[in-house]
């Protein structure tokens, strides 16, 4: 992490870049850790060895679906109660001031919107929605949680929360959980998020590229850019000659293309940014 003097100087540089407007924001899990949601590769994720669910396992195995939904049902208690932190509120304030071209988030927690941001593209979907894999009807996660409680009145479990919003449970805890299906057609229900092994829908990707193409600069917040899903937008911004700034705790895959990098806590840094912009 950078020392205070260096960080202050870089926040001043960041303010100069953002003050000109037209900034496309790309956010990752590191922005939500201060809301109590762990990440994969940052400081809260280093000690975790979570094995994410793949689409192929989910659709191919009733037992895999039971395990996923039992773990997700427990994890939702924390994810569903999470609240925006100073970083989310600062991004929403930047949007309110007309400085952003838009926000692309790799997160599935909905905290940008909860903080008041409006133009948000959820690259990987959102955990607050459920989709039927047969009829494609989308329903609120709250409705599914109510049905889980009705179907499992005597079931209770707890465990450490993983980055995907599920909890670590034992086989014995999972065994007694009852899964429910679509009320409309009886099809399999899946969270409206992109699992590993799935592709982000092309229209959504195109919308993100369009946002970057219309931007004047790019600001990456809390993403290690370790996978192509997010890195491709930074690569496009670099190809277009846009100035790129990255705020993250730890190195990222986009540092080589960045004009400015800050290794610092997101909430404090973004709050300092909005304060500096107000004073200017």
Please, how many CA atoms are within 13 Å of residue 121, restricted to the half-sphere of its CB?
24
* Three-state SS at 280: coil
Q: Indicate the residue among 144, 162, 193 that finishes a domain.
A: 193
Mean pLDDT, the chain, as a whole number? 92
- Is 85 annotated as ligand-binding? no
Same domain? 219 vs 99:
yes
- Is 266 annotated as ligand-binding? yes
Looking up residue 170, the CATH number of its domain turns out to be 3.30.1600
Q: Find the mean pLDDT for residues 147-168.
A: 83
pTM for this structure? Answer: 0.90
Q: Indicate the residue among 193, 224, 242 that finishes a domain.
A: 193
pLDDT digits (tens, 9 = 90+) for 109-128: 999 999 999 999 999 999 99
DSSP 224: -
In a domain, 42, yes or no: no
pLDDT of 5 reads: 66
- Is 107 annotated as ligand-binding? yes
Please, how many CA atoms are within 13 Å of residue 195, restricted to the half-sphere of its CB?
17
CA distance 184 to 17: 50
Domain with 258 in it: 1-37+84-124+199-280
Same domain? 205 vs 261:
yes
Cβ contacts of residue 170 below 8 Å, gap of 6+? none
Q: What are phi and psi of 92, to 5 degrees?
A: -60, -35
What's the domain count of the chain? Answer: 2
Contact 226, 253 (CB under 8 A): yes
- Is 208 annotated as ligand-binding? no
- Is 224 annotated as ligand-binding? yes
Same domain? 248 vs 276:
yes
Same domain? 141 vs 262:
no
Residues annotated catalytic, as ranges: 124
pLDDT band at 48 (very low <50, low <70, confident <90, very high): very low
Same domain? 120 vs 139:
no
């Amino acid at each position: 992490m950078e020392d205070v003097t260096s960080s202050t100087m870089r926040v001043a540089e960041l303010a100069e870049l953002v003050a000109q407007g037209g900034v496309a924001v790309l956010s990752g899990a590191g922005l939500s850790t201060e809301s109590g949601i762990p990440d994969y590769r940052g400081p809260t994720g280093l000690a975790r060895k979570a094995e994410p669910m793949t689409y192929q396992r989910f659709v191919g195995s009733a037992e895999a679906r039971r395990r996923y939904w039992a773990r997700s049902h427990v994890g939702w208690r924390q994810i569903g109660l999470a609240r925006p932190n100073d970083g989310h509120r600062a991004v929403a304030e930047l949007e309110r001031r007309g400085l952003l071209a838009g926000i692309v988030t790799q997160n599935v927690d909905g905290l940008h919107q909860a903080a008041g941001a409006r133009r948000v593209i959820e690259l990987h979907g959102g955990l607050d929605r459920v989709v039927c894999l047969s009829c494609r009807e989308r329903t609120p996660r709250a409705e599914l949680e109510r049905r889980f409680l009705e179907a499992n009145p005597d079931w209770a479990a707890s465990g450490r929360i993983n980055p995907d919003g599920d909890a670590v449970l034992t086989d014995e805890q999972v065994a007694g959980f009852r899964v429910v299906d679509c009320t409309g057609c009886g099809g399999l229900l899946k969270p409206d998020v992109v699992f590993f092994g799935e592709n982000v829908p092309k229209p959504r990707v195109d919308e993100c590229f369009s946002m970057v193409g219309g931007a004047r600069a790019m600001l990456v917040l809390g993403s290690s850019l370790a996978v192509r899903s997010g890195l491709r937008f930074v690569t496009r911004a670099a190809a277009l000659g846009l100035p790129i700034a990255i705020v993250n705790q730890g190195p990222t895959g986009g540092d080589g293309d960045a004009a400015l990098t800050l290794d610092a806590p997101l909430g404090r840094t973004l709050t300092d940014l909005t304060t500096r912009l107000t004073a200017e």
